[in-house]
Amino acid sequence: MIFLYGFVNNWPHSKVAGGSSQDSLICICFSAMISYLLYVTISIVLWMQLQPTLASVEITKGINGLDKLVLRQIHGSTVEVYLYGAHVTSWKNDHGKELLFLSSKAIFSPPTAIRGGIPIIFPQFSNLGPLRSHGFARNRVWTMENNSHPLQSKPINGVFVDLLLKPTEDDLNIWPNRFEYRLRITLGLKGDLIMTSRIKNTNTDKKQFNFTFAYHNYFRVSNISEVRVEGLGKLDYLDNTQNRTRFTETRDVITINSEIDRIYLSTPKKLAILDHKKKQTVSIQKHGLPDAVVWNPWEERSKTIVDLGPDDYKSMVAVEASAIGKPVILNPGQEWKASQKLSAVTSH
């Protein structure tokens, strides 16, 4: 601008019709300067819009005013977690596509468990014990831990939240065992969802306890008829539709065309859910979880589930990383660790 001012002041002061040449030049220079500044401003705005947003964790209110955490990665993937049940209700990829199933009739009102997403099943799977079906962890409000547990290192490039559950006096009345359950939920740089559980026996009376466990993953699918589950072929399973009678799977790949409710035993560490119509594969990599449940209620059974829509079974499949066949036994002071990593990729 100093250059332009000096240039204009040294311009010959000859008169032209309608004003001086100096006035004309000032107008031209001013217009050029405004155009340049506008160009720079637009360029900066566009550049900022094209940059990935910072990874973050936001505390907000969800349905019915329940506390909810939103994890965001730099490329756009997100995870939503309710403190009620430490319940993951949404997992979206960097294109905003939902990967988890949530019932059209899900009830967000304690003490009812939320139908869909990823319920935490602890300390009892189904009715395998004295408690109500699937235990109580999914029906309790968890707390956030601001300081990382000394045994948990921070993930590289991952955004995470640490949650904690301890038994209430009511819990101790129905399940007389003291514990600390720490759960880390991580959204990886590439949009992977990692859940790591650490359960410690904190009984002071030298009493051990045992439990069964599952990450009850509900996956959204295009249509159940287009889905196949890989990694469970030729394995033994307990059929919950036939009083948990033990069978051996005869197929290499699991397809679903009727009600299925099976506990597959001693499964591999990696499973895959292929959706032919979506051209999508979701993989489950699990550690410390030897079993896997496959569940779809189909049409008739769906009619008996009050918080499941009549056609919801067509767009979901539950494949659950679990420890059921052999209950986990913990001595006082002992800690158990298990994890799962969910990843979604385009398949052909």
Long-range contacts from 149-158, C-beta under 8 angstroms, 24+ separation: 149/182, 149/198, 151/198, 151/335, 152/182, 152/184, 152/196, 152/198, 155/186, 155/188, 155/194, 157/55, 157/188, 157/189, 158/55, 158/186, 158/187, 158/188, 158/189, 158/194
d(CA 98, CA 348): 19
With contact defined as beta carbons under 8 Å apart, do 245 and 239 qualify?
yes
Catalytic site residue from 216, 230, 276, 287: 216
One-letter identity of residue 108: F
Q: Give per-residue burial for 61-70: e unless 16+ CB within 10 Å, then b.
A: ebeeebebbb
Catalytic site residue from 145, 299, 320, 335: 320
With contact defined as beta carbons under 8 Å apart, do 312 and 291 qualify?
no
Q: Is 276 a catalytic residue?
A: no
d(CA 215, CA 217): 6
Token pair belonging to 54: 């910072």
Q: Is 287 a catalytic residue?
A: no
How far is Cα of residue 98 from the mean position of the Cα atoms in its chain? 10
- Looking at the annotation, which residues are catalytic? 216, 320
